[in-house]
């Protein structure tokens, strides 16, 4: 599933191709995507990201609010199949989505604020901290996936950050020490920034330290990586490093 880094990469690409341009064409192949016919002629004034959402701000005050779902991605040359396409004079963005869970709809600025207000803090914002974890007894891995606490972190990057910080994913979040919280905050930021730096080829280039490496040796201590279920999600960790 696209998480904060993948969504940020998409948003940056969309900003380059669509930002500042006037919409000349909207092609919808899936009626589940609720797009009105009057988008043509509107100018895309800005492309923003909040958590796992992308917003195309239009010059009439409306927003095209996009969630990539599990398999959503934008391409800029026509793929064999796509759910919709939106084009300006500077280029066309094609929305691919194999599993069809992505969402796209046009909302008012007020409606968008109400939707995004439910999200927690942005991990890459200057004032980001993990104070929110002090108020929940859930396993820290489960808490990190709660978008109401922290916006944008998903399964892959939560696992990677916990491994880097040497914190077991089942540790109760409110039992983490000040030093553990400091390390975890630092490593959340590091894994997200590293992933964003891969750019559009992230899926081809990225290699994880612990995610999806069950049975393989830990890069630090050579202990075989284990997998457990937490909150219904596969969770990878090193029993040697993350006690």
Which residue in the list 2, 5, 123, 169 is annotated as catalytic? 2
**Sequence-distant (≥ 6) Cβ neighbours of residue 159 within 8 angstroms:** 141, 169, 208, 210, 211, 235, 236, 237
Is 233 a known active-site residue?
Answer: yes
Question: Would you give the distance in Å from CA 58 to the centre of its chain?
Answer: 23
Q: How confident is the model at residue 31, as a pLDDT?
A: 86
What distance in Å separates the CA atoms of residue 62 and residue 217, rounded to the nearest whole number?
Answer: 50
Residue 1 confidence (pLDDT): 78
105 annotated active-site: no
DSSP calls for 66-95: EE-TTTEEEESS--S--SEEEEETTEEEEE
Distance in angstroms (rounded) separating the CA atoms of residues 99 and 70: 7
The tokens for 7 are: 């969504």
Main-chain dihedrals φ then ψ at residue 41, nearest 5 degrees: 95, -10
Q: Are 72 and 96 in contact (CB under 8 A)?
A: yes
The one catalytic residue in 17, 52, 83, 164 is 52
In the annotation, is 52 catalytic?
yes
Catalytic residue among 43, 209, 220, 233: 233
Number of C-alpha atoms within 13 angstroms, CB side, residue 50? 18
Q: Is residue 3 flagged as an active site residue?
A: yes
Catalytic residue among 3, 8, 112, 160: 3
**pLDDT at residue 34, rounded to an integer:** 82
Averaged over successive runs of 10 residues, the pLDDT of the chain (243 residues) comes to 95 96 96 91 98 98 97 96 95 95 96 98 96 96 98 98 98 98 98 97 96 98 97 96 94
Domains annotated on the chain, with CATH: 4-116 (3.20.190.10), 131-237 (1.10.8.50)
Whole-structure pTM value: 0.95
């Amino acid at each position: 599933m696209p998480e904060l880094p993948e969504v940020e990469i998409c948003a940056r690409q969309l900003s380059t191709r669509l930002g500042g341009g006037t919409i000349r064409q909207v092609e919808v192949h899936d009626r589940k995507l609720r797009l009105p016919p009057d988008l043509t002629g509107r100018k895309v004034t800005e492309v923003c990201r909040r958590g796992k959402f992308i917003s195309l701000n239009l010059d009439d005050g409306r927003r095209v609010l996009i969630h990539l779902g599990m398999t959503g991605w934008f391409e800029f040359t026509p793929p064999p199949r796509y759910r919709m396409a939106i084009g300006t004079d500077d280029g066309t963005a094609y929305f691919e989505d194999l599993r069809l869970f992505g969402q796209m709809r046009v909302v008012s600025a007020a409606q968008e604020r109400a939707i995004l207000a439910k999200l927690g803090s942005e991990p890459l914002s200057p004032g980001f901290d993990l104070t929110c974890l002090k108020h929940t007894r859930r396993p820290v891995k489960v808490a990190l996936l709660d978008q109401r606490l922290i916006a944008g972190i998903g399964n892959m990057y939560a696992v990677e950050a916990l491994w880097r910080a040497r914190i077991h994913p089942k540790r109760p979040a409110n039992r983490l020490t000040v030093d553990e919280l400091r390390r975890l905050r630092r490593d959340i930021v590091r894994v997200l920034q590293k992933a964003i730096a891969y750019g559009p080829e992230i899926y081809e280039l990225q290699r994880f330290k612990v995610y999806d490496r069950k049975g393989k040796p830990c890069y630090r201590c050579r202990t075989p990586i284990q997998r457990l279920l937490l909150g219904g999600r596969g969770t990878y960790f090193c029993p040697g490093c993350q006690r």
